[in-house]
Structure 1
Amino acid sequence: MSKRVSFQHSRRPSLSRVRGAVVAAGLGTSMVLGVGAAFAAGAAGAPGTASLVDMGAADSVAKQAAVQGKAAEAAEAAEAAKAAKAAKAAKAERAAAEKVAVKKAAAWETPVRQYVLSASFGNDGARWAHKHSGQDFAVPIGTKVQAAHSGTVVKVGPNGGGDGPAYGNAIVISHGNGTYSQYAHLSRIDVHVGQTVKTGEKIALSGNTGNSSGPHLHFEIRTTPNYGSAINPVSFLHKEGVMV
């Protein structure tokens, strides 16, 4: 009896230690599993749980948005600068065009573009009773005749605009400050009395009407609108910077 009892007593502590180890191991396993399960739940986005993955993605999107926002602002600024530069260039171009227009309006030109000079001012001839009162530009019939300077048409007509049939179809333009220009022997008149014309504007076609021995344009510079007040047109144009 004593031997059996002692044997049983000697085994109890061993069983207790084994059971304690198993329980401890079980608790440890449960703790490990519990942590893993909690992490998994967080990763799955369980309600009320802020995921580390989600937080990282949100931060990445925010950084992308910031970078793209700056790029968009830079592009917008570049486009605005480009538009401002284009507007400035357009303004400068308009100013230059206006300057040219003003300069052209103040300038004088020859009444025809291509020509051969024939009878000059002051020459004697069989086609006029007195000395020649203008400069003749030999050109084919139908050549464009243009206003030598801006002004207002004051005389028009087949009777030299009132200066006599020797001029044929004629036009007189007032340029202000006591200066007038006359265009004669025209085949066609394209303006009327009171019309305002600009430098270089077409006013007629050249011809051979009136007292004329061949196609040409008779051009005068006058101090009044009427015959008898003519001055040397070539000298006048030279003073205005026009080479004839």
Structure 2
Amino acid sequence: MSKRVSFQHSRRPSLSRARGAMMAAGLGASMVLGTGAAFAAGSTGAPSGVDHLTGAGAARSITEQASVQGKLAAKKAAAAKKAAAVKKAAIKKAHGWSAPVNRYELSASYGNDGSRWAHKHSGQDFAVPIGTRVEAAHSGVVVKAGPNGGGDGPAYGNAVVIKHSNGTYSQYAHLSRIDVRIGDAVRTGDRIALSGNTGNSSGPHLHFEIRHTADYGSAVNPVHFLHREGVRV
């Protein structure tokens, strides 16, 4: 009786070890199979972190980068344009002559005949909308400013005359507003008035003259004069 009991007890550890080995083997196989399945599954698709380069994410990324680069390029272009404008303005103010308005169409020219003038046309007309900025064509001192052509007669409407250091005078007429007074010192490009349609005028424009004196009757061809000074109009 004691031998049988002893025999039965002696088998249980062997069975337990066998079962443990089988379970370990099964678990190992499962792990191996699972790893293989996972690897197989992973190998059929794109590796992690790459999908954004090949799918819809790639398109979004490229679009976003292009947008950012486009904005940066636009900012650089705007900054360069602004810097060029500032430099041009500084050069204009420092020396030289310039056109009295920036955007215009040339209309009646110097020497034209017509019923609007007592004699031939004494200046160059720049067709511009009412309220256009009128600038000093060159540095100088204001010697006439006011209605009645600043003293040159009602045909000019509101007008300004500037004396320049080279002995010439520039006149600006048919103004809607005058922003300077007699005795004011101005520089090339400074705003002196706004264009208008006052006096003997057939439509909004700036009448511009270059004179030998401050008074009517001493004008020369202003376009030819500006050309000699390097200004293209």
Q: TM-score interval w.r.t. the shorter chain? A: 0.5 to 0.7
Q: Give the ranges of 4+ consecutive aligned residues of structure 1 lying more than 4 Å apart after TM superposition.
A: 100-103
Contact 2:161 2:214 in 1 (8 A): yes
What TM-score do the two structures reach when normalised by structure 2? 0.61
Contact 2:101 2:134 in 1 (8 A): yes
Partner of 1:117: 106
Contact 2:172 2:206 in 1 (8 A): yes
Helix, strand or coil: the match of 2:94?
Answer: helix
Contact 1:105 1:149 in 2 (8 A): no
Query: In the TM superposition, what is the alpha-carbon distance from 1:103 to its structure 2 partner?
Result: 6.4
Q: Find 2:216's aligned residue among 202, 220, 227.
A: 227
- Deviation digits for residues 25-78 of structure 1 (CA, Å, limit 9, x no counterpart): xxxxxxxxxxxxxxxxxxxxxxxxxxxxxxxxxxxxxxxxxxxxxxxxxxxxxx
Query: In the TM superposition, what is the alpha-carbon distance from 1:192 to its structure 2 partner?
Result: 0.2
Helix, strand or coil: the match of 2:102?
Answer: coil
Is residue 2:215 matched to residue 1:215? no
Query: In the TM superposition, what is the alpha-carbon distance from 1:157 to its structure 2 partner?
Result: 1.1
Aligned residue identity for 1:243: R
Alignment of structure 1 residues 15-26 onto 2, 5 Å: none
Q: Which runs of 5+ in 1 are unaligned?
A: 1-96
Aligned residue identity for 1:214: G
Distance 1:192 1:103, change over 3 A: closer
Partner of 2:172: 183
Larger Rg: 1
Partner of 2:227: 238
Identity %, equivalent residues: 77
1 CA distance for matches of 2:91 and 2:204?
34
Q: Which runs of 5+ in 2 are unaligned?
A: 1-85
- Deviation digits for residues 218-244 of structure 1 (CA, Å, limit 9, x no counterpart): 000001000000000000000000000
Partner of 1:148: 137
Is residue 2:125 matched to residue 1:136? yes
Q: Find 2:150's aligned residue among 149, 153, 161.
A: 161
2 CA distance for matches of 1:131 and 1:125?
7
2 CA distance for matches of 1:101 and 1:208?
31
Aligned residue identity for 1:232: N
Contact 1:163 1:226 in 2 (8 A): yes
Q: Find 2:183's aligned residue among 194, 213, 220.
A: 194
Query: In the TM superposition, what is the alpha-carbon distance from 1:166 to its structure 2 partner?
Result: 0.1
Helix, strand or coil: the match of 1:114?
Answer: coil
Q: How many corresponding residue pairs?
A: 148
Query: In the TM superposition, what is the alpha-carbon distance from 1:147 to its structure 2 partner?
Result: 0.3
Aligned residue identity for 1:159: N
Helix, strand or coil: the match of 1:161?
Answer: helix
1 CA distance for matches of 2:91 and 2:105?
30
Aligned residue identity for 1:185: H
2 CA distance for matches of 1:178 and 1:131?
24
What TM-score do the two structures reach when normalised by structure 1? 0.58
Contact 2:92 2:189 in 1 (8 A): no
Helix, strand or coil: the match of 2:142?
Answer: strand
- RMSD over aligned Cα, in angstroms? 1.8
1 CA distance for matches of 2:179 and 2:227?
27
